[in-house]
Structure 1
Amino acid sequence: MKPLQSVAMGLVIVAITARLGGYDALPDPLGWLLVINGLRRLPVAYRQRSTMVWLCVLVLVVSVVLWFPETGTWLDDHDASLRWAANLPQALVLAWFAHTLAGQAVLTDARAARWLRTTATLITVTAMAPVLVFGGGIGALEVPSYVLAALALLMLIWLLFGYSGRVWASREATSADVR
């Protein structure tokens, strides 16, 4: 499996929820392990590769805690914004990954870089939307922000699968292929 395919498959697992007895049958930690596997297989020449791996390890730890139904119930019972805060690291890591990947693509694939930057921007906007929803009391934006967040994640997954065969995204990419 190509590195970006592994990342994309991991994000598919993160995106899908299949509840059985309160637990997610497709646990997000499994998805984050695939993401980390894909990131580790990117060429060493990729800027921020090791930083991204460590940040994803932190997100993995958070996802383990959030996998237990009691944690989600506790967050929801205390304040809806706590759920957002618990998921914020995931969104910010994905936005940064899309932005960093765009930086790798820009030299040889300007169109891919634009799409990845657009996706990074959408993920960042949806990560910050709860500030308006919960902090600003604009409840009418809650559902649209969740829809946009889901679409932005699907867009990232789509792009990762689509770009996985590009030279700048392959495991064999040289420092000349990536910045």
Structure 2
Amino acid sequence: MNGPMTPLQKIAMGLVIVALDTLGGYDALPDFLGWALVLWGLATLPTPARGTLQATAAVAGAVSLVLWFPQVHQPLRDAEVSLRWAASLPDLLFVLLLCRALATRAREADPTDRRFAARFGVLAWAAVVVAALPAIADAAGSDGLLVAAEVGFVVLWLWLVWNLFAAHGREYARPPVTTR
């Protein structure tokens, strides 16, 4: 498919920027720029949940803007797990809501093709698990579960971006064609 980027491509590229962090230092590609790209993609995404997705992405972008400043980022990086976990919740809520919206759209658009609906449905559940795992690990005092939570977070982002690119050309994910 040639031409302008589809909504899911814009969202995926924005989430790539969100997911890329400079290890331990200054984030050269600020996450709020990625969230701006996500909002651009959401502007034409054909889903009844668009308003909710835009609001959630805006909150995640605002949180990432605040966290971008070294005066906030540095203490949070060294803070307890529960604070770092809380700061990631807007991102994970967006992932959950986006996956649910896309799974619903895929089911409605073609009930016979369950592949993409199932992919996004599983991704939604994975987001729930990844969101809950740090709190469970912290309560249990398990460093192994914390490592699993961190790995799960990375895998979730990679899997989501992969599936957004895989589904970007699907009819249910493209904005309606307008004639002039």
Q: TM-score normalized by structure 1?
A: 0.89
Does 6-15 or 102-111 show the bigger shift? 102-111
**1:65 partner letter:** V
Cα distance, 1:19 vs structure 2: 5.8
| Equivalent position SS for 1:172 | coil
Does 89-98 or 7-16 show the bigger shift? 89-98
Q: Distance in 2 between matches of 1:78 and 1:168?
A: 42
Cα distance, 1:138 vs structure 2: 1.9
Cα deviation 1:111-147 (Å, max 9, x = unaligned): 1000001111111101110111112212221111111
Cα distance, 1:71 vs structure 2: 1.2
Q: Distance in 2 between matches of 1:149 and 1:7?
A: 18
The aligned counterpart of 2:26 is 23
CA contact (8 A) 1:10 1:34 kept: yes
Structure 2 residue 36 is matched with structure 1 residue 33: yes
| Equivalent position SS for 2:21 | coil
Q: Distance in 1 between matches of 2:162 and 2:53?
A: 20
1:1-179 equivalences in 2 (<5 Å): 1-18=5-22, 22-43=25-46, 46-107=47-108, 108=110, 109-172=113-176
CA contact (8 A) 2:56 2:93 kept: no
CA contact (8 A) 1:19 1:25 kept: no
**1:164 partner letter:** H
**% same residue:** 42
Structure 2: runs of 5 or more not aligned: none
Cα deviation 1:22-43 (Å, max 9, x = unaligned): 3211110000000011011113
Cα distance, 1:61 vs structure 2: 0.4
**2:37 partner letter:** L
Q: TM-score normalized by structure 2?
A: 0.89
Cα distance, 1:80 vs structure 2: 2.4
Q: Distance in 1 between matches of 2:15 and 2:149?
A: 19
CA contact (8 A) 2:85 2:135 kept: no
Q: Distance in 1 between matches of 2:154 and 2:78?
A: 23
Report the number of matched residues: 171
CA contact (8 A) 1:32 1:60 kept: yes
CA contact (8 A) 1:167 1:173 kept: no
